[in-house]
Structure 1
Amino acid sequence: MLTFIGLGLYDERSITVEGRDALRAADRAFAEFYTSRLVGADVDDLEAAHGTTIEVRDRAGVEQDPDPILEAAAAGDAVFLTAGDTMVSTTHTDLRLRAEERGIDTRVIHGVTAQSAASSLTGLQNYRFGKAVTLPFPYAHGGDGVPDSVIETIEANRERGLHTVVYLDIKVGIGPRGPDPDHEEYMTADHAAAMLADDWADVLGVVVARAGSPDAVVAADRLSALADRDFGDPLHLLVIPGDLHHVEVDALAGLADAPADLLPDR
């Protein structure tokens, strides 16, 4: 059996009770933290809290060499841990399909996602979000500034009146000069806002920093103004709102201190 478990957003306690029980009962535990990570806990914290040993796999160890995970699942009960919800990344779907192809039973135990938390914290209604995008570091896509695909997706959502979640790039184990096991870099919301302000300086943006933590931050302002603020430690994401329902207007004013001149009249 291979069980995929989402760890939630913040620390070793963010896992669901079902996920906790499955982790503690497993014969082997694997994890990856290159797609996301917990803000308030490291591997040692997880191991101490759940009384287990966790083997962390890098991208190559999941995508190119998954055999140790699959062999452990074929021989007993193995779990695969990720921050947030476990099936957001196609990497994990591919691993599940590989297991199924070998006749290994799989199951999924979900965790809270950054996108659902962004909706909850900002007050923007979850069914009014369009396609999400990831904003990469310029060196990661070999160009300058914001990729055309990101601009086109945000514009398409705005034309339809939909909100856009902008996930911010994470680089673990790879840097500007290629593979680097010591490299760990997280794009911040002010950096992302500055990049997007080149096209939309006066457009309303909403920052969500450290969702799930006791000191989560939600702030709304012009992208050009957000670019000049410090939102503290990662993880961050950015939302570009579309058309706003009157309840969403109230939420952004009351929960994110959005300037009145950026909000439509009720």
Structure 2
Amino acid sequence: MLTFVGLGLYDASSVTVEGRNRILSADRVFAEFYTSQLVGATVSELEAAHDVEIEVRDRAGVEQDPEPILSAAETEDVVFLTAGDTMISTTHVDLRIRAEERGVETRVIHGVTAETAASGLTGLQNYRFGKAVTLPFPFVHGGDDVPQSMIDSIEANRERGLHTIVYLDIKVDYVPRRGGPDEHEEFMTADYAAALLASGWKDELAVVVARAGSPEPVVRADTLSVLATEEFGEPLHLLVIPGDVHHIEADALVSLAGAPRSLVE
């Protein structure tokens, strides 16, 4: 049996009760944190909170060498942990397909996603979001500051009046060039992302969501050029580029995110 458990957004307490029960009953627990991370808890803290030993796999250990996970799941009750919701990444879908093809029973226990949290925290209605995009570090992809494909996706959403979630890059296991939290990982911040996007949309409204799922998330709305000058604390951050704003959404951005009224009318 292979059960995929989403841990939610922030720390060891973010997982659902059902997810925690599956962790506690598992024979072995694997995890990956390269697609996303719980910034409110270390692996050691997760192990202590759930009284388990967690075997963390890197990207290659999931995508290229999943045999230890799959072989264990053939004879044992195995849990595979990820931050957020476990089936957001194609990597996890691929692992589930491989398990099913080997005759291993699988189950999915969902966790809270950044997308639902962004809608709930900002007051922007969830059915008014279009295609999401990811903003990579320019020095990683070696191209323009903002990839043209991302610009095209945002503009396509805007033409339809839809909001766009902009996920911000996370790089793990390399020495950062901008100075990340340690020598192995770097999180793009919302002010850095806003500065990149402001080159094309200087006076456009955007919303920062920082540390969704934590006890004290930050939600801040203003123009991209203004947001580029502010600081939003510890990761994880994301941006939302609103499309057409309903009057209730406008009220929410003013009340919940400090947006200037003139920007949302």
TM-score > 0.5, shorter chain as reference: yes
Q: How does 1:5-16 map to 2 (within 5 A)?
A: 5-16=5-16
1:151 aligns with 2:164: no
| Preserved contact between residue 140 and residue 176 of structure 1 (Cα < 8 Å) | no
Q: How does 1:186-205 map to 2 (within 5 A)?
A: 186-205=187-206
| SS state at 1:166 partner | strand
CA distance in 2, matches of 1:88, 1:27: 25
Give the structure 2 partner of residue 134 of structure 1.
Answer: 134
Q: How does 1:112-127 map to 2 (within 5 A)?
A: 112-127=112-127
Give the structure 2 partner of residue 247 of structure 1.
Answer: 248
Deviation at 1:141, TM superposition (A): 1.5
Give the structure 2 partner of residue 224 of structure 1.
Answer: 225
Deviation at 1:188, TM superposition (A): 0.2
Structure 1-normalised TM-score? 0.96
Give the letter aligned to residue 4 of structure 2: F
Q: How does 1:150-169 map to 2 (within 5 A)?
A: 150-169=150-169
1:37-68 Cα deviation digits (max 9, x unpaired): 11211111111111100000000000000000
Structure 2-normalised TM-score? 0.96
| Preserved contact between residue 139 and residue 176 of structure 1 (Cα < 8 Å) | no
Give the structure 2 partner of residue 22 of structure 1.
Answer: 22
1:70-106 Cα deviation digits (max 9, x unpaired): 0111111101000000000001000000101111000
Give the structure 2 partner of residue 96 of structure 1.
Answer: 96
Deviation at 1:214, TM superposition (A): 1.2
Q: Which runs of 4+ in 1 moved over 6 A?
A: none
CA distance in 2, matches of 1:14, 1:118: 16
CA distance in 1, matches of 2:254, 2:164: 19
Deviation at 1:182, TM superposition (A): 4.6
Supply the RMSD in Å over aligned alpha carbons. Answer: 1.2
Q: How does 1:61-72 map to 2 (within 5 A)?
A: 61-72=61-72
**Structure 1 gap ranges (5+):** none
Give the structure 1 partner of residue 208 of structure 2.
Answer: 207
| SS state at 1:38 partner | coil
CA distance in 1, matches of 2:176, 2:47: 32
Give the letter aligned to residue 243 of structure 2: G
| Preserved contact between residue 175 and residue 183 of structure 2 (Cα < 8 Å) | no
- Percent identity over paired residues: 73
Deviation at 1:176, TM superposition (A): 6.7
Give the structure 1 partner of residue 106 of structure 2.
Answer: 106
How many residues get paired? 261
Deviation at 1:168, TM superposition (A): 0.2
Deviation at 1:173, TM superposition (A): 1.4
